Structure 1
Amino acid sequence: MTTENTENEKELDPNIIEENANGEQLIVEELSPEEQLQQDLDKEKDKHIRLFAEFENYKKRTAKERIDLFKTANQEVLQSLIPVLDDFDRALAEIKKSEDEALIKGVELIHEKLKSTLVSKGLEEVEVRAGDAFNADYAEAITQIPAPSDKLKGKIVDVIEKGYKLGDKIIRFPKVVIGQ
């Protein structure tokens, strides 16, 4: 076919012959102006719907990220206060050995105020006790000792250091001794 014949065929035939990227000839129907406008409108509606859905997903994702950020924004501050809380627990244990009831009561009040403030900021203690089954996802074993009884084999014998979590995230694992 020559170029001249192809152009004549386009004029005579309501179909238009186009070549695709592979060089193949395709026959495409010529659309009326109304049909072309409707097709363009449908394409634009589809683009709009997809863009709107993408934007909604973006808003949801950023809102979730913002909530997560607010939950853990004070993580560094709380992590730096955990050793202070540990020292306070040890001091309170030693003070309870004294005979001064007023001192014990005052230190207990300050200790409770500190703990309640940290809890209000989202800090929670990870609950592990002697006799619980050891789970590496929630505790860190620092050593193993021969189990004092058969019941304690593979279980927690002693809790050396308390663990804490902020929301659902553990920010310090409890350090435990497990029985062999």
Structure 2
Amino acid sequence: MNLEEISLMGERNVSNSLAGALNRNILRLRKKIIQESLTDFDAVEHRLELVISVHGIQFINDSKATNINATFYALQSMKNPTIWIVGGVDKGNDYSELIPLVKKNVKAIVCLGINNEKIKATFSGIVPQIIETKTMKDAVSSAYMLGKKGDTVLLSPACANCDLFEDYQERGRQFKKEVKNL
């Protein structure tokens, strides 16, 4: 089985999938059952969840990524030029840890939230465009306008839920709703 056939994206998910597949020897499961499971397993909602593609732009909901580590893995998973939607209540984040991945994968940043100064200060000069928004509708619309066929829009906030949302689930549901309204 080729790694590209595994339905979940990201190196961490591939590693977890392979670890699970190794257990097949202990459980004496047939290879075909494991292969089928790995190719059609659906992502957990709000965790690198492919929403839809609109005019060739892929939209991914990773609203559960409320810290730098989770967003690191999300950005690491991006293979296409990425418009990154980030922001919320900063928990003392050190965004500089993400700079190498942002340089490699991110073509624009859309800030979503009340106070984006730390995000802007960290990534100013690293990406050509940083836009501030205050609603999910504006964030999705801005990201869409920045994108082109073959790009990915990634909601991976790296922050706790901002004043705009009750929790990460509501944030993710609003993201999906606005994407489907494009």
If the length of structure 1 is used for normalisation, what is the TM-score? 0.21
TM-score (norm 2): 0.21
The answer to which structure, 1 or 2, has the higher relative contact order (CA under 8 A, 6+ apart) is 2
Structure with greater helix share of residues: 1
Higher strand share: 1
Bigger Rg, structure 1 or 2: 1
